Structure 1
Amino acid sequence: MDVSLTLIIVMAILFACGVYAMLERSLTRVLIGFLLLGNATNLLLLIVMGVPGNAPFFGTEGTLSDPLPQALTLTAIVITFAVSAFLLALIYRSWQLGQADTVEDDEADIALRERTDADEDVMDDEGDAEDEEATTDFVDVRTSPITVLQMRDHASIRDDAPMDRPWSPTDSAPPASDDEEDRT
């Protein structure tokens, strides 16, 4: 299999630029990065496909091409189109609401950035004491609340299942249940 070094370099550059663009705060750059990643994925599948051959029909002779990378490429194109349509709608709505497509920091982001290592240690130690005492997920219950009952434990429950005697072909009819025997 002969792989072009040019395709590999172009694919690597597309992946690097796509990842770099997706790390930006601007939604337009995120869209451009996602499109670059989609094209890099299509190039990767083209490289993996190998040497082109004949269509894989019954009765063809010679080397046949593998249809799986072609199907994966079509799937990657559809997924890239759907996600980029969603991102375009998101960018349009963001522009309508705020006249900008930049994602801003909210209060939770700022609080997370200002948290120190001491705060992290305090948050980690809060749940340790309760975990040692807990034996079950049920509050004030020492055992599981599910109890398996047997029919023999309750005389008030009438068993209307057929008799346990196996049916044999010499019998004229299948065995009757307890209700049918009581009616006769």
Structure 2
Amino acid sequence: MSGAQHAVEMTPNAVLVLAIGVLVATGVYLMLERSLTRVLIGFILLGNGVNLLLLVAGGAAGGAPIVGETPVGKMSDPLVQALILTAIVITLGLTAFILAMAYRSWQLHGHDEVQDDVEDRRIARLAARNEPSFEDADAEESGETLDDTAATVRDETDEEAAE
């Protein structure tokens, strides 16, 4: 087999690359929405896009990765298959979790939209006015120098003070 034929085998199909791009872009866009249903669909699309990316990155198709059944040079990479299977299981678990959250939100509020956190809104208002979100006692000037503070602090390593 010549080098040109080998390069052709490793070139990914343009349709698969386009499908990966569309799935990942659509998934990311939907995950930025407030509706948990859209976030769920976005996560599923993103997961499928990444699975396809792993499949394409795994190289050309080959035989079953079983020693003795397929010659070593013709085997598929089993790592890619294991990663995709693991990603499918994780996606299924997260899908069930988000579905449960969306269902509970629908029961309690009649919608599945995630609202802003009250604390986040308070901090955003303070940031817009350029005010600190907390009081920093160390930032205020007390008039006491660092030497004065050090003199009043008890040093447990000082043997004279321990007696």
Q: TM-score, normalised by structure 2?
A: 0.72
Match of 2:13 among 4, 11, 28: 4
Shift of 1:67: 0.2
| RCO higher in structure (CA 8 A, sep ≥6) | 2
Evaluate the alpha carbon distance shift between residue 127 and residue 44 of structure 1 in structure 2; reply closer, same or farther with a 3 A threshold.
farther
- Distance in structure 1 (CA, Å) of the matches to 2:26 and 2:46: 8
1:30 aligns with 2:39: yes
Taking the aligned partners of 1:37 and 1:141, their CA distance within structure 2 comes to: 58
User: Does residue 89 in structure 1 map to residue 100 in structure 2?
Assistant: yes
Q: Greater CA deviation, 25-34 or 107-116?
A: 107-116
- Using the alignment, how far apart are the partners of 1:109 and 1:94 within structure 2? 20
Q: How does 1:53-64 map to 2 (within 5 A)?
A: 53-59=62-68, 60-61=70-71, 62-64=73-75
Q: 1:117 to 1:56 in 2, by over 3 A?
A: same
Q: CA deviation at 1:2?
A: 2.1
Residue type at the aligned position of 1:118 = N
In the TM superposition, residue 111 of structure 1 has moved relative to its aligned partner by: 1.2
Q: Percent of counterpart pairs with the same letter?
A: 51
- Name the counterpart of 2:115: 104
Q: What is the match of residue 77 of structure 2? A: 66
Distance 1:7 1:92 in 2: 34
Aligned Cα root-mean-square deviation (Å): 2.5
In the alignment, the residues of structure 1 paired with residue 138 and residue 29 of structure 2 have an alpha-carbon distance, to the nearest angstrom, of: 40
Report what 1:75 is aligned to: 86
SS where residue 118 of structure 1 aligns?
A: coil
Q: Distance in 2 between matches of 1:21 and 1:38?
A: 13
| Correspondence for 1:46 among 47, 50, 55 | 55
1:63 CA drift (Å): 1.5
- In structure 2, runs of 5+ residues without a counterpart are 1-9, 141-145, 147-152, 158-163
CA contact (8 A) 2:60 2:76 kept: yes
Give 1:77 shift. 0.3
Question: Is there any run of 5+ residues in structure 1 with no aligned partner, and where?
Answer: 134-139, 145-184
Q: CA deviation at 1:142?
A: 2.6
Partner of 1:142: 155
Q: CA deviation at 1:117?
A: 5.8
**Matches of 1:118 and 1:84 in 2, distance apart?**
40
Which amino acid counterpart does residue 29 of structure 1 have in structure 2? Answer: R
Distance 1:124-1:105 versus aligned 2 partners, 3 A rule = closer
* Cα offsets for 1:165-184 (capped at 9, x unmatched): xxxxxxxxxxxxxxxxxxxx
Aligned residue pairs, count: 135
The amino acid of 1:126's aligned partner reads D
**1:141 positional shift:** 5.1
Give per-residue Cα distances to partners, 1:99-135, cap 9 Å, x unaligned: 111112342132123222621xx459937659xx6xx
Higher helix share: 2
